[in-house]
Amino acid sequence: MDAALTQIVDGSWDSSAARAQFIADADAERFVEEYMPKLNAAMIARDFKTAVKLCDEILAKLPEHKLVKQIRMSFLLQGNQMEEFNKAAAAQVEEYFDSPRALNQVARLILKTVGQYVHEVQLAFVVSL
> pLDDT digit string (tens) for 86-110?
888 888 888 888 888 877 877 777 7
What percent of the chain has pLDDT above 70?
A: 85
Q: Is the pTM of this model over 0.85?
A: no
> pLDDT digit string (tens) for 4-49?
778 878 878 888 888 998 999 999 999 999 999 999 999 999 999 9
Is the confidence at residue 129, as pLDDT, over 60? no
In the chain, the domains with their CATH numbers are 2-128 (1.25.40)
Per-residue confidence at 116, pLDDT binned at 50, 70, 90? very low
119 burial via Cβ count (<10 Å: 0-12, 13-18, 19+): exposed
Q: What DSSP string describes 50-108?
A: HHHHHHHHHHHH-TT-HHHHHHHHHHHHHTT-HHHHHHHHHHHHHHTTT-HHHHHHHHH
Do the Cβ atoms of 84 and 78 come closer than 8 Å?
Answer: no
pLDDT value, residue 113: 66
